[in-house]
Every structure is written in C-alpha cells, then in structure tokens.
Amino acid sequence: IKSMDNQVLLQLKDERAERNIEQEMAKPLVMVVENDQDTLLLISVLLRNIGYNVIDASNGEKALELLQANNPEIIFMDVYMPVMDGFTATRRIRELAEPYRFVTIIGLVAGAVQENIEKCRAAGMNDYISKPFRLEEIMGKLKLPPAA
C-alpha cells in the first residue's frame, strides 16, 4: 500500500509540474534589449509581474541570436547600445524571414528627441517609449498590432 501511495504522489507531482510548464508556456513572451542593467531589471520585473515571460539581451547582436530561438511577440529595444545598436538590430530583424520580421519592436529612447523618433521609424520600429518611462506606457505598447 505504501508503494502505491508513493506512486500516486509521484503522479500528482508530475501532473502539477506539467500544468506549471503549460501555464508558463501560455504566457506571452517579450524580449527586452537594454544595456543598462537597472533599466533592464526594472522593465523585466514589471513585465513578469503583469504576466509575461521575459528574455533579455544586453545588445542588438545578442537580440538577433535570441530572436529566432525564442520568437517573442514584442521587443522593447534600447536604441543606443554597445556592440550593435537598436537601430541596426531592428533593420536586420526586418530583413529576416517570417515570422521574425513582423515582430512588434518598441524603441526605448532617452528623451523624446525628434531626431531619435524619426530614426526609430526609419529603422522599422513600430513605436517608441521615452526613458524614463511609466508603467502605463509599457502597458499601452503591449496592445500594439504586429508590424506589417
């Protein structure tokens, strides 16, 4: 009887673990590309707290590597980073095959300087958020349609 109880407990644990995995996989995936660790942590924690899975990258080159392996629904992309900036990374993403080229990309811009806003659009970003940002701005951008 004791071994049957253990088997039942193991089966319940397995079923619970499978449900947890399924629940995690059902959450939308967001990529945050940001070289400033404080900003990266802030956005990532914020997104996780409202129910998103988050992957992060410290530059555009890393984002390109992670994109095809993870296929996020939306990318928050800092525009000025070492190794590869967000403008270049966005242009490269828009050159990829479907479905990657159509991912929604939101530029993270320090100050809403018109020149940076125009560069975001020219690179193929869907929209932008000025840093420092507010929770409401991020929430609003999560509702944007995908790139065309």
Name the percent of the chain lying above pLDDT 90. Answer: 43
Identify the three-state secondary structure at position 108.
strand
What amino acid is encoded at 36 in this protein?
A: D
pLDDT band at 115, cuts 50/70/90? Answer: confident
Residues 105, 77: contact at Cβ < 8 Å? yes
**Can you read off the two tokens belonging to residue 114?**
């018109």
**This prediction's pTM:** 0.77
Backbone angles phi, psi at 51, to 5 degrees: 100, 20
Exposure class string for 45-61: b at 16+ Cβ within 10 A, else e = ebbeeeebbbbbbbbbb
